Amino acid sequence: MTGVLEGFATIAVIVSVGWLLAHLRVLDDSAQVNLSRLAFYAASPALLLTVMQRTPLDAVLSRNLLTSLASFTAIAVLYLLLARLRWPGESLGSRLIGSLSAGYVNAGNLGIPIALYVLGDVAWVAPTLLVQLLLITPVYMALFDSDARGERPTLLRSLRRMFSNPITIGAIAGLLIAVLDVDLPRVVADPIELLGNMAVPSMLVAFGISLRRGPRPAAGASAGHVWTIVALKILAMPAIALGIGLALGLRGEPLFAVVVTAALPTAQNIFTYAVRYRREVTLARDAIFISTFASVPVIIAIAGLFHAVTNV
């Protein structure tokens, strides 16, 4: 339990540095964008390559991966059923944004540092990253295209998007290195590792800037919709992950990892999708903002429960 609190304290300090620098106008919105781009296009792929090449294949292609996929699917279906009853006029694109906001976890920007400081190893978030990047994202992108353009999604278009994502490329490259048992020379490995070390602080400082300069969330008529999504994301999804994990035979640290990962907030790239396809931009933004704060006490409570029951 102490390790969890120390982990969140470490993350909070770095986020606070970003907030303070934005408050003092040392950094602005352009700095947030540039730090995020650095993390997305260079540092995070390097970090994932480093992590994946050191992770045994059975630790990635495991029951944790199946649990992550099943948990997302269950939450997405649950949201779509609720949306049909409570918001019957939503378009396909709006429902896609809602289901992603309810089930697509921030396994990159916040999942990596939380896995590092709370779970003790970034490798625990690798199965969820792979599920989201290699399976969920291509399917949703094809559906978004279909909704926006009135075109039938194609396999080629989905594959092109998948393999143009730098985080996907980094994860796959690391996985291939591990599978082929390639030993990278130090002149290559050391710069990659050094670049990867920039990922976590860059993401957290950028997030701190967004907290200082972002608008007030969940105001007006959309508040009920936002809080429904947040409840699904922060409360229902970890509960479902717990049930599925137990059913698949997970216990101890692996079960702890999938439940904590499921309790992570909505991923920030959902906002990017909302802007790109002009669907529920404010809803996505508010779900990300509120679920980020709400996830902290929930993850601490999960850690306390697991520590009391299993001494993880």
Tell me the pLDDT of the chain (312 aa) as tens digits. Answer: 555 566 667 778 888 999 999 999 999 989 988 887 888 789 888 988 887 787 666 666 678 899 999 999 999 999 999 999 998 878 888 999 999 999 999 887 677 778 877 787 777 888 898 888 778 887 887 788 777 766 665 667 666 766 777 877 887 888 889 888 889 999 999 999 999 999 888 878 887 887 788 666 666 667 889 999 999 999 999 999 999 999 999 998 899 999 999 999 998 778 778 877 888 878 888 898 899 889 989 998 998 888 788 766
pLDDT confidence of residue 208:
82
- Structure tokens belonging to residue 31: 């700095």
Among residues 20, 219, 48, the alpha carbon closest in space to that of 132 is found at 48
Among residues 34, 44, 74, the alpha carbon closest in space to that of 245 is found at 74
pLDDT confidence of residue 71:
97
Q: How many CB atoms lie within 10 A of CB 275?
A: 12
Class of domain 2-310: mainly alpha
Q: Is there a contact between 132 and 67 (Cβ–Cβ < 8 Å)?
A: no
Q: How many CB atoms lie within 10 A of CB 171?
A: 24
Residue 296 main-chain phi, psi, to 5 deg: -60, -55
Query: Which run of H or of E encompasses 276?
Result: helix 269-277
pLDDT confidence of residue 7:
66
Locate the domains of the chain by residue range: 2-310
What residue type is 202 in one-letter code? S
pLDDT confidence of residue 2:
57
pLDDT confidence of residue 1:
53
pLDDT confidence of residue 48:
80
Q: What is the pTM of this model?
A: 0.78
Q: How far apart are CA 285 and CA 267, in angstroms?
A: 10
